[in-house]
Structure 1
Amino acid sequence: MSIYYPYCRGKQFELIAIRESAGLLARSNFEPIIEPVKESLSGLDRALKSVIEADGHATVIVNPYHGDHSEDGVNIEALLNDQFSDHADSIAAGILLKKDMTVEDALKLHATYPEENTTFIHAGFTEAKALAAELGQGLVSTRHVFFEAHCGKLYRKHFQGATRVLLRDGFKRRRNADHPRLEEFSDLHATYEEEGMDGFGDFLIVGDDYTETGGPAYAVAIHLTFVDGDKDDAMFIYHFVSDTRDTPSDPAGKFAEALAKLIQKLNTGRSKLIETSAVKEFRQLHANGHFPGLGYVKKLSLKHHIETIADYFE
């Protein structure tokens, strides 16, 4: 059974991060949850094929809340049926339980997919008690992922006996220029069992707040997480932010400033960042003076986060 469920919104570089990390995700028993937000599903298709090739698992939300499929998930359903129906044990359907949904809506979606491989994702739904009652004896074979922001302990209690996963947003969203140098991210990787959960998840270094586009970057930030063994294994996040932040021009120059701060921190030998493949690539970009684009930088931070959590569980 998986322990860690990174939740991503299926933007291009998030899907590439999943694809490039597919082997590590599978080896570590991590299962990404993907909410497809872009109309084109080709990136999702490629990411899921990589997950299957690596003998891994993923959950795909069939009724997204955000993005191009929020009105109906018919294209996502078609992709799962056409391409992945033979891999139902690897690719699960995720049912997002939203604020305005009824128990009937939830059960109708549930009936569409193979029962043993459907995940309920609780994100504002209010009928916990009624849903648990309707699932009845079948409850124990279901899996439930709870957005912590919407699901307190009393809510989660209704699903005792099922597989339960708690999803916490450790990333505080603000303008890049306003990030502190260092802050706490989460302790859930070390405390999920204390919470009575079978697994945990997060929104990586993106956060739960969804925006269609990044908008012009007045400041460029590199976000990197680490586990601090001197602080009970709590996870912290560095924000390496450019000094130039008054106009949206010259992202390459700003990236160079942020990267210089990261390299300077690494070179102290006291950063507590582990040498992930992403950190090695940041070193290479610094050595070459190369700017790969902001999406690519985000992808590296995502991969670093996944590798850091994998390292913790090793």
Structure 2
Amino acid sequence: MPHYYPYFRGKQFELITIRETASVLAESNFEPIIEPVKEPLGGLNRALRSVIEAYGNATVIVNPYHGDHSEDGVNISALLQNEFADHADVISAGILLKKDMTVDSALALYADHETEGTTFVHAGFAEGKALAEALGQSLPSTRHVFFEAHCGKLYRKHFQTSSERVLLRDGFKRRRNADQPLLEEFSDLHVTYKEEGMNGFGDFLIVGDDYTETGGPAYAVAIHLTFIDHDKDDAMFIYHFVSTTKDTPTDPAGKFAQALEKLMKRLGSGTSKLIETTAIKEFRELHSAGHYPGLGYVKKLSMKHHIETLSAYFT
């Protein structure tokens, strides 16, 4: 069964997405990677409980680069070791390897979390060869996730003997919502990851890798939805349904209604290629009710749709 690793920054609606799709993730053998960015860990705790209840797996970054825990991930480590010690086989620790990190600090975190089946997440780290040599006999029992933007083939070559190798590609092109085209290619990695010598693949869903604390005022509201085009070698594409009004920071509800109207029109055409996920059903209900649930909720629906679309592709 193919292995998909959606990469979440642990904001509120990302964690709710994990809770609400826990059974889909587990049944599809998909494993979320979570980088907790907010100080309170209650939402993370609930998300991980949902994963366990669904008999799924998750990886939690213990040294986040972004957000409230970027200076010190001790509370995350404590959560894993105190609350989830009995579930170390399914909730594993992830070590984020950024460019300013040393081999020694990576090994120290590895020593702290060895029992949780460690995953190394390579995101700009410069000492790949030295780390592979230092891991030595342990290398085959570790998993390695590579941010494609930071890890060329030469870098990844050092970890060829590791048990599992995952390539993480950011398919979401960040622009102002007002500048998004209606349609563009997202990724083909779900089809080609084996050609890259990988056991699995991942992405940043419809959020992208660029981290921002807040969205700021929405001059334009966009609904981002992915689909797999069977007429184009199963490549994945993304729609950006953007509000017609783009020039003021007011009336997000009205702008959402405009974007939703464009989505409904495309669905009604019969040629959208969007599959009828639970998220699409909910967009239809929001349209019928004329209800605006808030931008975070809209993003959650788009993330759920993306996960359900990939699940349908692999089943």
TM class, shorter-length: over 0.9
- Counterpart contact for 1:146–1:165, Cα < 8 Å: yes
Instruction: Quote the offset at 1:81 in angstroms.
Output: 1.4
Instruction: Quote the offset at 1:116 in angstroms.
Output: 6.1
AA aligned to 1:243 is: T
Matches of residues 61-210 of structure 1 in structure 2 within 5 Å?
Answer: 61-115=61-115, 117-162=117-162, 163-210=164-211
Instruction: Quote the offset at 1:135 in angstroms.
Output: 1.0
TM-score by length of 2: 0.98
Q: CA RMSD in A?
A: 0.9
AA aligned to 1:264 is: K
Equivalent position SS for 1:60? strand
Q: State how far apart, in whole Å, the 1-side matches of 2:125 and 2:136 are.
A: 18
TM-score by length of 1: 0.99
Deviation by residue 1:231-283 (Cα, 9 ceiling, x = unmatched) = 00000000000000111110000000000000000001100000000000000
AA aligned to 2:236 is: M
Equivalent position SS for 1:113? helix
Alignment of 1:215 onto 2:216: yes
Q: State how far apart, in whole Å, the 1-side matches of 2:39 and 2:244 are.
A: 36
- Counterpart contact for 1:128–1:158, Cα < 8 Å: yes
- Counterpart contact for 1:88–1:114, Cα < 8 Å: no
Q: State how far apart, in whole Å, the 1-side matches of 2:81 and 2:261 are.
A: 47
Change (3 A) 1:116 1:288: closer
AA aligned to 1:246 is: D
Instruction: Quote the offset at 1:82 in angstroms.
Output: 1.6
- Counterpart contact for 2:36–2:64, Cα < 8 Å: yes
AA aligned to 1:128 is: G
Instruction: Quote the offset at 1:114 in angstroms.
Output: 2.9
Deviation by residue 1:186-226 (Cα, 9 ceiling, x = unmatched) = 00000000000000000000000000000000000000000
Equivalent position SS for 1:263? helix
Quote the residue 2:55 is aligned against: 55
Q: State how far apart, in whole Å, the 2-side matches of 1:289 and 1:116 are.
A: 47
Q: State how far apart, in whole Å, the 1-side matches of 2:267 and 2:18 are.
A: 25
Q: State how far apart, in whole Å, the 1-side matches of 2:141 and 2:76 are.
A: 24
Runs (5+) with no aligned partner, structure 2: none
Runs (5+) with no aligned partner, structure 1: none
Identity %, equivalent residues: 78
Instruction: Quote the offset at 1:44 in angstroms.
Output: 0.5
Equivalent position SS for 2:146? strand
Deviation by residue 1:164-198 (Cα, 9 ceiling, x = unmatched) = 00000000001000000000000000000000000
Corresponding residue pairs, total: 314
- Counterpart contact for 2:88–2:116, Cα < 8 Å: no
Matches of residues 25-36 of structure 1 in structure 2 within 5 Å?
Answer: 25-36=25-36
- Counterpart contact for 1:7–1:203, Cα < 8 Å: yes
Instruction: Quote the offset at 1:78 in angstroms.
Output: 1.3
Equivalent position SS for 2:159? coil
Equivalent position SS for 1:303? helix
AA aligned to 2:215 is: G
Matches of residues 236-247 of structure 1 in structure 2 within 5 Å?
Answer: 236-247=237-248
- Counterpart contact for 1:164–1:198, Cα < 8 Å: yes
Quote the residue 1:269 is aligned against: 270
Instruction: Quote the offset at 1:39 in angstroms.
Output: 0.8
Equivalent position SS for 2:84? helix
Quote the residue 1:14 is aligned against: 14
Deviation by residue 1:68-116 (Cα, 9 ceiling, x = unmatched) = 0000001111111121111001100000001011111111000001346
AA aligned to 1:150 is: H
Q: State how far apart, in whole Å, the 1-side matches of 2:144 and 2:218 are.
A: 37
Equivalent position SS for 2:166? strand
Equivalent position SS for 1:272? coil
Q: State how far apart, in whole Å, the 1-side matches of 2:283 and 2:52 are.
A: 29
- Counterpart contact for 1:148–1:168, Cα < 8 Å: yes
Q: State how far apart, in whole Å, the 1-side matches of 2:69 and 2:185 are.
A: 34
- Counterpart contact for 2:2–2:314, Cα < 8 Å: no
Instruction: Quote the offset at 1:298 in angstroms.
Output: 0.3
